[in-house]
Amino acid sequence: MKKILDQIAEKLADAFAEAGYGEAPAKVTLSNRPDLCDYQCNGALAAAKQYKKAPMVIAEEVIAALGDCGMFSEVSAAKPGFINMRLSGPYLSGELNEMAADPAAGIEPDPESVIMIDFGGANIAKPLHVGHLRSAIIGESLKRIFRAKGQKVIGDAHLGDWGLQMGLIIAEMSERQPELPYFDPAFEGPYPEEAPFTIGELEEIYPTANAKSKEDEAFREKAKQATFELQQGRAGYRALWNHIKEVSLADLKKNYGRLKVEFDLWKAESDAQPYIPDMVRELKDSGHAYISEGALVVDVKEETDQKEIPPCMILKSDNATLYSTTDLATLVERRKLFDPDRIIYVVDKRQGMHFEQVFRCAKKTGIVRPETQLDFLGFGTMNGKDGKPFKTRDGGVLRLEVLLNDVSEAVSERMHAQGDRGLSDEEIGDTARMIALAAIKYGDLSNQATKDYIFDIDRFTSFEGNTGPYILYTIVRIGSILKKYYAADDGSCSLTSAELFAGKVPEGYVSEGILPAVGESERDLQLKLAEYPLFVEAAVQDLAPHKICQYVYELSDTFNSFYHETRILAEEDAARKSSYIALITLTGKVLSECIGLLGFEAPERM
């Protein structure tokens, strides 16, 4: 459905044309002075320059040309030449009824394009750290937001499986269990099917090997050599590497699953390696790459640069490839396999320079099409209350299960403290996990991604304020009012909140839909609902899930004000009561859509 803002803009464009200002842009925005108007147009100011006439005069003429179109209850000119509009009750409620009937709740699709989102970025065999958690949360939300806008989105986990960490594990294993066939160059296979370690052991092997390599030069050399031989294709090392990947991947999938993070592709750095030789040859042949101090590089600095952008390194002097080589080859691979129109990287902002170099190099050398849009969404650090990068209770690196468990525990403590709601312990456990996920994700996404933020379990799990649990609480509240309204004689309701929000009703109920608002908080709620598509657009425009958080919080607050001021179920006028029900049903639907875009769900009760 066409959103209100566009309908108004069209109406006004017609009125400008009719008044003789056809060339003037009728840009309409949401009012930032809700006390004065709902929507505002500054077209008369632009027309004034063009037609050399006082803006107030133009505004008045346009308003006269607008006449009574039924969309507004009030249109007025305000100095220095704004056109202020209030929506008419019937028009607004009519739009909301359309939104209620629309499965997309008023979100219009954009022309389809193929967008790849490179997020997650976990490293095989290394523990997930907070950066990977943020990337997963933000990337998952972006993926959902773009899909809601009709885009074909391919989410790629782009696992790190090609670095020194692999050589470290191989070296360490070769010292612990030298008798294994993986280390015998004469062994001709087949290698064992079963991995020689569990995920628990693997998680211990890497840090041990890593620490050892920092103290023991010989060991470090051994690990480097093993990395090199692995990359060259030594069969035993490849077999061991495959075990590491398998064991690690199963664990990663479990962890991402708990976070409700899904990837369409589980590609890894190693998948791009076959593209490197041709790519390097072409870079050399085209003259883009040249040898500088022994290394193969491509210049990427530009005249307008404010700061020094070093050349993009393709091969080190010993011919070894680098992180940038892999990312460039991944672009070659992605173009070949998916030909995306846009790729968005959700990675720690400290990698900004790396991506700047890679993007420039890819554009300059034609690795990507000139029109392919490459975006780096660099995020800040998740800190603990001490201002240092967050650590879980056990003090070590972040372990996702531990984090989820800590937060779930904090939530169930709160639930127990709030007294018995007739929930069984099992229900409390399940619900607490859902709320915990909302607390973690909302706590992250409500901040502008580029900023650092403090992970504060107490604040994030609070049922009040700008938190995930507060939003869930609001949704549960709406669900429970609806279930009371639709309750059978025995007090039970056969439909779930989600079904009710989707517009299902028990047999025998007819509704006239949402009526024009009579109360002020009712009107505020109606206006806020109508803003939903604008926030989704802003989130797409700025790659900013926090705009959805801002909206979902405002909508929750607006609903709760309405709820506190209105006796919904005790309303005596049946038509009005049924209109209230339709209004809060739409509120429940939009809130649920929003948290869906953020990547979490509401429980039935809490």
The residues of the shown chain that bind ligand ARG, judged by CB under 6 A, are 118, 121, 123, 158, 160, 327, 345, 347
Which CB sits closer to ligand ARG, 37 or 344?
344
Complex with ligand ARG: residue 333 or 499, whichever CB lies closer: 333
Longest dimension (CA), the chain: 92
Q: Is the peptide bond before 80 cis (omega within 30 degrees of 0)?
A: yes
3-state secondary structure of 62: helix
Q: Coil, strand, or helix at residue 314?
A: strand
C-alpha to C-alpha distances, 27 to 1, 13, 34, 68, 375, nearest whole angstrom: 20, 9, 18, 20, 28
Cβ distance to ligand ARG smaller for residue 149 or 158: 158
Comparison of 203 and 593: residue with beta carbon closer to ligand ARG: 203
DSSP run (H or E) holding 284: helix 276-285
**Alpha carbons 289 and 364: distance in angstroms, whole number:** 11
**DSSP letters spanning 143-169:** HHHHHHTT-EEEEE--BB-SSHHHHHH
Minimum distance, C-beta of residue 230 to ligand ARG, in the bound complex (Å): 17
152 versus 354: smaller Cβ distance to ligand ARG: 354
Q: In terms of CB distance, is 358 or 472 closer to ligand ARG? A: 358
Nearest distance in Å: CB 122, ligand ARG = 7
What is the distance between the alpha carbons of residues 369 and 372, in angstroms, rounded to a whole number? 5
C-alpha atoms less than 13 angstroms from C-alpha of 296 in its C-beta half-sphere: 21
Question: What residue is closest to ligand ARG based on CB?
Answer: 121
Closest distance between ligand ARG and the C-beta of residue 372, in Å?
A: 15
CA angle 262/267/268 to nearest 5° reads 125
Q: Which residues contact 475 (CB under 8 A, 6 or more apart)?
A: 497, 588, 591, 592, 595, 602
Residue given tokens 């750290």 in the structure block: 129
Q: How far is the CB of 126 from ligand ARG (least distance, A)?
A: 8
| Nearer Cβ to ligand ARG (83/374) | 374
User: Which one, 327 or 537, has the nearer CB to ligand ARG?
Assistant: 327
Of 155 and 603, CB closest to ligand ARG = 155
Question: In the bound complex, what is the minimum distance in angstroms from residue 375's beta carbon to ligand ARG?
Answer: 12
Q: How far apart are CA 44 and CA 337, in angstroms?
A: 50
| Whether 348 contacts 337, CB under 8 Å | no
CB of 367 to ligand ARG, least distance (A): 14
> Could you tell me the smallest distance in angstroms from the CB atom of residue 326 to ligand ARG?
7
Find the shortest distance in angstroms from Cβ 272 to ligand ARG. 9
Residue 161 C-beta: closest distance to ligand ARG, Å: 9
Q: How far apart are CA 113 and CA 127, in angstroms?
A: 35
First to last CA, the chain: 34
All residues at 6 or more sequence positions from 358 whose CB lies less than 8 Å from its CB, including other chains:
312, 324, 327, 328, 331
CB of 176 to ligand ARG, least distance (A): 26
- Closer of 321 and 461 to ligand ARG (Cβ): 321
Side-chain-side CA neighbours of residue 286 (13 Å): 15
Query: What value does the CA radius of gyration of the chain take, rounded to a whole number of Å?
Result: 29
| Least CB distance to ligand ARG at residue 287 (A) | 26
> Rounded to 5 degrees, what are φ and ψ at 205?
-65, -45
Strand partners, 78: 82
Indicate the residue among 119 and 485 with the shorter CB distance to ligand ARG. Answer: 119
**Minimum CB separation from ligand ARG for residue 121, in Å?**
3
Nearer to ligand ARG, 72 or 345 (CB): 345
Neighbouring C-beta atoms of residue 105, cutoff 10 Å: 21
Q: How many CA atoms are closer than 13 Å to the CA of 521, on its beta-carbon side?
A: 17
